[in-house]
Structure 1
């Protein structure tokens, strides 16, 4: 019989990281969203580790993803997650069940919770303009396209960048994969429902007018489409 997620995670820490300072069990198994394909997300903070890494393996009857850090690298990852607006590590630390604690686990958990509450690094005006320009380009491509197969990929990209746009301009975290709709629901349940309905309708009917209208309405309060007069500069690293 398969042992519980908590038991498996504890045994894993005892076997692989017996001297770590902090360990958390996170993911779907602690959110009550466990499925047949769920794995264990385990975060380890161990001062003897020279650099951060992640590893995938199967132990104690469970697929396990372990994210290993020391007391410095986890802070670097927290900052990187804030800058990209996708708080993977802070989310896991904040929601995680403490498996091992030598006096730092609650502090790191509180640090993660405060970071999540504060939100991501705000977009600057040039970043908003860049996103509007990118969305405009995709909308123009979709309007002019006569190839239904190409449309599939244009619409997929539009869903991604539109979700990112509306969340970033409103100071909210973004998602990836299944976390896109979850992030939208965290922001605005009604908008998330409309978003899902519009893109679901497209994939069932291949009718693109609804997608175009929805995206145009979404970006309209922030200036709408952008083409004429837009310019951007190459990063300094690309100029040398």
Structure 2
């Protein structure tokens, strides 16, 4: 359990420092070319993965509460399973998943009251609207508790080209791979979840060779 706490803490530190830096130094929508195929691009996500959202601020609050419940479930199962599963194939990935979940919940709960500017829901347009300028962490708040937006900045447009005009449907359109912008917390969830799936036999086998059944 100590290893889970340590890994979770380290990932959260990296995640939150990167988010605070981008939020307080970048304009919304600004991007910086790092390696050509890798950019730091500041966007704010009011909802789930890949920018999906629903229900305006009410949906945002519900989503934050559901994430807290999920974190509670993860902690419960870690506490239960770690008594039998002490291998690193389980401990490290599950700690990454936990850290990622907590990292994005922190944004949703606290960022609306920590920063003076942020993406907010407009009842008039029935959509989330961005802002001008660079935000400050002065605790004046741009919305309220549980209504903050998740800060994303990692962008990997590895392949970019225009489809030939003679192709049906996509002809002439500009294509980028990989388009979604994400953050350290998202990366931790993805790497942790993928590792648990790939090494599931080793991860869910106890020291005495018994496979954990669900």
Bigger relative contact order, structure 1 or 2, given CA contacts below 8 A and separation 6+?
Answer: 2
Please identify which structure carries the higher helix content. 1
Give the TM-score, by structure 1 length: 0.27
Give the TM-score, by structure 2 length: 0.29
